[in-house]
Chain A
Amino acid sequence: MSDIYVKFEDKLPGRVLEEMKVEAKANKLTDAEITKALNEAVKEYGESLISPGESIGIITAESFGEAGTQMTLDVFHMAGVAEIQVTRGLPRLIELFDARKIPSTPSMEVYLKPEHTKTEKTIRKIASYLKEMKLNEISKEFTLNIMSESIEVELDEKKMRDFGFKKDEIYETLKKNLKNATIKDSKKGFTLKPDTEEINLSILYKLKENAKDALLRGIPKIKQVLPTKKDGKYVILCAGSNLKKVLKMDQVEEKLTISNNLFEIATTLGIEAARQAIINESVAVIENQGLDIDIRHVMFLADLMTQTGVVRGITRGGISGEKESVLARASFETPLNHLIIASLTGGKDNLKSVIENVMVNQPIPLGTGLPELVSSIGDKKEKETEK
């Protein structure tokens, strides 16, 4: 039976073939009927193919631009009763297309390997290991002692108990994480003394701030954790994102865990993953807003943004700024800068894209302006004279 499909493999897209297989089985079609259906599909596919010269870029821009006017400006969104805040709506879409280095609400979905999801307790424990804990959070007070030229840290016993810390443990981690300082045990907590030869107030103050931020446990940048269930799987939702470190943890299922930070994904998982992330995040926004934009537009935009192997935003510093045409760049933003740079480097505009040709009143190379059926007579004459 599968031979029928093989014949059509280069005539139909895989998605259609797959759907056809499933549907044919469900409807119990005979082989002849399947061939008939496939031929019909080929015909329909041929009719719906895109025409050469179609200005697909503008169509995509329009699809997003028009939909953008219908989106809400609601910055934060909390799905369900208890979830971590994530930016949604137009601000998130703008953020994605800008390719900002850090999103306004970085977040992660951490999935665990099956063996670690047996009881809720273990999950909670892992979650608590994820969360970034700083010395500040379990301390009562940081005192700057000018007389002894040191910092005195007073620990909060109750909080230590709540979060499961022991003093000697803290001592060890501090030793590792707090550089340029000698740590001594004191009655209430620790005494810190800078290692530098000369000790002045600003060094002491700096040490105090550093000590507050000293990491005791967990993964840096993970600000908040929330273990929940999603589609039957246990997930730890995190506010803050640190994909690289989280993926290194043994308990984490690497295949499912994901961040919403495009750059982190691009650097840790590669550009293809970043492309998929752009698609997923954009689709999430579009669906959340109750809009309907075809996936092809999103895919196209993601392809464009990741085309060169790095994530480029749709900004004057990104795609728009890297165009070859001087006039196209100048017509977007900061026109004079582009003209000056062009004059310095001897820039040449070959009038290959749209806006330059609009400027000089010539047909644009899109759609019906694309075919060049008229041969240039000038060249012919030149060749003849050359002979």
Chain B
Amino acid sequence: MTENITKKIKSIKFSMLSPNSVKRMSVAKIVTPELYDREGYPVDGGLMDIRMGVIDPGLKCKTCNQRLKECPGHFGYMDLARPVLHIKYLDTILRYLRSTCLECGKILVEEEKIKKHLKNVRDAEQERRYKVKKNLINAFANSIKLVKKCPHCKAKQKKITIEKPSTILEDGKRLTPIQIKARLEKIADMDIISLGNNPESAKPEWMVLDILAVPPVTIRPSITLQSGERSEDDLTHKLSDIVRINQRLFENINAGAPEIIIEDLWDLLQYHVTTFFDNAVAQVPVARHRSGQPLKTLHERIKTKEGRFRHNLAGKRVNFSARTVISADPRIRFNEVGVPKVIAMELTIPEKVTEWNIEWLKGLIKQGPKNYPGANYVIRPDSRKKSITDETQEALLEELQPGYVVERHIVDGDISIFNRQPSLHRMSIMCHKIIILPGKSFRLNPAVCTPYGADFDGDEMNLHIPQTEEARSEAEILMSVENHIISPKNGLNIIGSMEDAISGLYLLTKNMKFSKKDATELLFSAGIVNDEMKDFKNEVSGKEIFSIVIPNDFTFIGTSKNGDDVEIKKGQLIEGVIDKALVGEDNGQLIREIYAKYDEQTGIEFLAKIFKLGIETLLKSGFTIGISDSDVPEKVNKKNKDLIEKAKLKADNLITDYEKGKLEILPGNSMEETLELKITEILNKVRNDISEQVNNSVDENNPTIIMANSGAKGNLLNVAMMSSCVGQQAIKGKRVKGNYSGRALSLFKKGDPSPEAHGFIEKGYKQGLNPYEYFFGAMTGRDALMDVALRTPKSGYLYRRLSNALQDIRVEYDSTVRDAEKSIIQFKYGEDGIDIAKSDGGKINVKKIIKQIKKK
């Protein structure tokens, strides 16, 4: 299967189709509006003429003698009885008419001025200042508008106006397309250039059509409905309208019909040609189906997200891909993905037959497509594809020899690319190794949820199988999970321990003690076997167990979440507790250190080991919370109540001050605003005070507190919210406002500024909320939902604009940052040339280096 690229597209040129080139590329002249004859065979000279390509599986193209799938389609043409204006070039036609003399066709400017203008334009072009060029030309064209007399032939000029959609008037008298065409033909090439256009690619007279290119049948295939009826494409409908009117116009002209009838038909022809190009032109009635649904003509096919550009050219469909629901499996590695067998039997990898693997591949062919592992297709050296079935199996086994290619099922260890939408950053698509598992969902390690933004509430993900050796090696080297632990956004690790793993490690390294047997068992169940384990004494501390995983020559000093020092000396955890600040996502100093010091493989293995160790610790020791775990001592409860009462009293005092008008106004605010601000401040403070109270009083071994302290889940504020006080509910940063004539809910007094009337929830979740408190809570919840719904499209558009503007910018070999036109944006990326994904938080860590030097 040697696929050599023999030709490469170097450039694409754009130009208008001239009448001559339309004729030249055409294979058929369309003369009749009929599509099929009585037998259902395409009519010669009709719109489905088989010289323009075939859409019936049985027929052969008369032009290229190929069948449905091979024939690319060929253009036809149509002679228009009277010329019509091309709606998309209407502005340009107007510009030409306005800037040239009606007598001699020259531009209404003196020779010298044109020359000077041309020089300016050329200079701008050379300096690649396209905007300047555009402005120059626009200014030039606008300056001509006012000229009343031709400087060349001294003819008096008339005013050209346009009556939308496509009637051009001269001093109020209509110019027919024939007259316009005659005018445009007079314009010299030099004058076309001075208006910024290229006479070779777009002659002005081409903008008035008297010959219409008919697109190939293949781009407007008809659909056969279940009833056997044929439903034609929108474009075919439109084209048959044009042919019909054109035919009538011809007949009327030949019959010498009165001018008024001819003009009516001519306008109708103009309308149909206009809507053929664009069915959404302002002031042109939209052409519709009989059902009233607007026709989709050429412009509609190209524009928008569903148009040709964004749907078919910038994005393409692929084969060798799969999609299903994801679920979690903490037992597989980070860089593995569990693939269901049913999927594995559909997705294949082309394996080239050599004398070394022929026996293996023969075995796979014997298995066939219905057994796993097997093979689905054999490709012969002449690139003929043969599917493996019970009938062909024997013959294929017989003829198989080196040079053949077998498309075999994917097996454990094959390379795949795994992706979840929205693909917001490069970690949304990474390379995983395949593990075939029973079941029907993709399995992934919960630690790689963060980069994908995945959870398991029904999320689906996509899997792709690279088909060539180059693609596989690129995927493995550049896209593998271990290469994407550090985010290029900020140089922090995006993958780390989370939730239970952190709780487990926290408990383990805090003060756990094990017997030698238990310690060994724990490590073993986490899949860690190590020589160091021999040196265990009878009593083993959690810190020692953790140290087993750390490489022996590793030295590290860091700070834990609550600011304590954590020291690792020569692979031994000497001091401190492991928590989120050391091994968590985003701020895992320890992970980044290991990652920087050793290779990626060591880094990810370390991460995987501690992850498992944490979970196993919890499994062994047990970890659970109950309703009583959010209890607070009675004393504290009373204190909290006092705090709330005090705050309410303070707020009341402020309100009385306000009512008396004695409140001291904060600068830049009105009296009411001041009151709002002050009350909000007091109420926000109260919850923080309570959370502090709760923190001081509770037992450190309380599971809720362990989770909050280790950073596994939640924080102390959440604990306070459960046990004591939910606190002030804010909408858009302010207290809940009274939108029902001065009150938030009808059970409050109008204009009541008290805390409880504006969303202060003084109870904790555990004690239960009042109906109105519950309602306030629901309000903030809805507000948050709304915010997300409104934000997503906005940020999505921002992202699309950014990625479109920046996509072609890269670092060059000379370390400059340049765009596709090779103009320099930065001389050195970020002024120091550091790759954020390779750095530690975007910096060279000088302090760390000095610390290391000092240590030695």
Report how far A81 CA is from B13 CA in the complex, Å.
61
Indicate whether A325 sits within 8 Å of B820 (C-beta atoms), given known contacts A50-B835, A71-B791: yes
With a CB–CB cut-off of 8 A, which chain B residues contact A15?
832
Interface residue from A64, A347, A352 paired with B821 (Cβ < 8 Å): A352
Q: Tell me whether B825 and A340 are in contact (CB under 8 A).
A: no
Is B386 interfacial (CB-CB < 8 Å)?
Answer: no
Q: How far in angstroms is the closest Cβ of chain B from A15?
A: 7
Q: Is the CB of B799 within 8 A of A296?
A: no
Q: In the complex, which residues of chain A have a beta carbon less than 8 angstroms from the beta carbon of B355?
A: none
The residues in A between 292 and 334 inclusive whose CB is less than 8 angstroms from any CB of B are 292-297, 299-301, 303-304, 307, 314-315, 318-320, 322-328, 330-332, 334
- Whether the pair A304, B825 counts as a contact (CB closer than 8 A) is yes
A295-B842 CB under 8 A given contacts A13-B832, A65-B803, A351-B12 = yes
What is the bound-complex CA distance between A351 and B847, given in angstroms? Answer: 47
Chain B residues in 8 Å Cβ range of A51 = 811, 835
- Closest chain B CB from A17 CB (angstroms): 9
Closest Cβ neighbor of B837 among chain A residues = A59
Q: Per-residue 0/1 for A72-99: is the Cβ within 8 Å of any B Cβ (1 yes, 0 no)?
A: 1110110001111000001101100100
Which residues 10-26 of A sit at the B interface, judged by CB distance below 8 A? 12-13, 15-16, 19-20, 23-24
Contact residues of A between 326 and 371, Cβ < 8 Å to B: 326-328, 330-332, 334-336, 339-340, 342-356, 358-360, 362, 365-368, 370
Contact B11 A349 (CB under 8 A): yes
CB contacts (< 8 Å) of A83 on chain B: these are: 668
B615 → chain A closest CB, angstroms: 28
Please give the distance in Å from B811's CB to the nearest CB on chain A. Answer: 5
Stretch at the interface among A41-49, A109-117, A161-169, A262-270: A41-49
Choose among A55, A59, A62, A307 the residue with the greatest number of B CB atoms under 10 Å from its CB.
Answer: A62
Residues in A with CB closer than 8 Å to B812 are: 52
Interface string of B414-427 (1 = CB under 8 A from A): 00000000001110
How far apart are the CA atoms of A375 and B629 in the complex, in Å? 72
Stretch at the interface among A1-9, A29-37, A133-141: A29-37
* Separation of A211 and B819 alpha carbons in the complex (Å): 53
Cβ of B791 and Cβ of A72 under 8 Å apart?
yes
A37 & B14 in contact (Cβ 8 Å cutoff): no
Number of interface residues of A (CB under 8 A): 115
B830 and A296 contact, CB distance less than 8 A: yes
**For B302, what are the chain A residues with a Cβ–Cβ distance below 8 Å?**
335-336, 339
Chain A residue at minimal CB-CB distance from B304: A335
* A52, A77, A228, A346: the one within 8 Å of B811 (CB): A52
Q: Is B853 a contact partner of A33 (Cβ separation < 8 A)?
A: yes
Q: For the complex, is B627 an interface residue (Cβ under 8 Å from A)?
A: no
Q: Given A52-B813, A300-B826, A346-B201, A58 and B806 touching (CB < 8 A)?
A: yes
Q: How far is the CB of A348 from chain B (nearest CB, A)?
A: 5
Known: A49-B833, A73-B790. A29 touches B850 (CB 8 A): yes
A60 at the interface (CB under 8 A from B): yes
Residue B244 CB within 8 A of the other chain: no
In the assembled complex, the CB of B495 is this many whole angstroms from the nearest CB of chain A, namely 15
Do A20 and B846 touch (CB < 8 A)?
Answer: yes
Complex-state Cα separation, A81 to B853, whole angstroms: 47
Asked whether any CB of chain A lies closer than 8 Å to the CB of B310, the reply is yes
The answer to whether the Cβ of A67 comes within 8 Å of any Cβ in the partner chain is yes
Do A331 and B787 touch (CB < 8 A)?
A: no
CA distance A315 to B807 in the complex (A): 14
On whether the beta carbons of A57 and B844 are closer than 8 Å, the reply is no
The answer to whether B832 and A56 touch across the interface, beta carbons within 8 angstroms, is no
Instruction: Tell whether B196 is near chain A: CB-to-CB under 8 Å.
Output: yes
Given A27-B854, A300-B830: A65 and B424 within 8 A (CB)?
yes
User: Min CB distance, A231 to chain B, in Å?
Assistant: 18
Contact across chains for B198 and A336 when beta carbons are under 8 A apart: no
B833 touches A74 (CB 8 A): no
Q: Please tell me if A54 contacts chain B, counting CB pairs below 8 Å.
A: yes
Report B598-622 CB contacts with A as 1/0, cut-off 8 Å.
0000000000000000000000000
- Chain B residues with CB under 8 A of A336: 88, 278, 299, 302-303
In the complex with contacts A41-B844, A50-B834, A71-B823 CB distance below 8 A:
no
Shortest Cβ distance from residue A193 to the other chain B in the assembled complex, whole angstroms: 37
Which of A61, A319, A330 has the most C-beta atoms of chain B within 10 angstroms of its own C-beta? A61
Q: Which residue of B lies closest to A64 (CB)?
A: B802
Which one of A50, A293, A365 contacts B489 once the chains associate, using CB atoms below 8 Å? A293
Q: Is A68 an interface residue (CB 8 A)?
A: yes
Chain A hits for B666, CB < 8 A: 81-82
Of the candidates A40, A227, A299, A323, the one whose C-beta lies within 8 Å of that of B830 is: A299
Also in contact, A65 and B787, with CB within 8 A (given A41-B849, A296-B836, A314-B805)? no
Cβ-based interface call for A226 (8 A):
yes
- Tell me, rounded to whole Å, the shortest Cβ–Cβ distance linking A375 to chain B: 13
Closest partner residue, chain A, to B5 (CB atom): A362
Are A66's CB and B846's CB within 8 A?
Answer: no
How far apart are B125's CB and chain A's nearest CB, in angstroms? 10
For residue A64, give the distance in angstroms from its CB to the closest CB of chain B.
6
Contacts of A365 in B (CB 8 A): 808, 810, 820
The CA-CA distance from A58 to B854 in the complex, in Å, is 40
Flag whether A105 is at the interface (Cβ < 8 A): no
From A57, A73, A352, A368, name the one whose CB has the most chain B CB atoms within 10 angstroms: A57
B contacts, CB < 8 Å to A: 8-16, 88-89, 92, 128, 130-131, 196-198, 200-202, 278, 299, 302-303, 307, 309-310, 313-314, 316, 424-426, 474, 478, 488-492, 586, 666-669, 677, 681, 732-733, 787, 790-792, 794-796, 798-799, 801-813, 815, 817, 819-821, 823, 825-826, 829-836, 838-839, 842, 844-847, 849-850, 852-854
Besides A15-B832, A314-B805, A323-B821, 5 new A-B residue pairs in contact (Cβ under 8 A), listed by A number: A62-B803, A292-B492, A335-B302, A346-B15, A349-B14
The 4 tightest CB contacts between A and B, nearest first, are: A65-B799, A57-B809, A57-B806, A346-B198
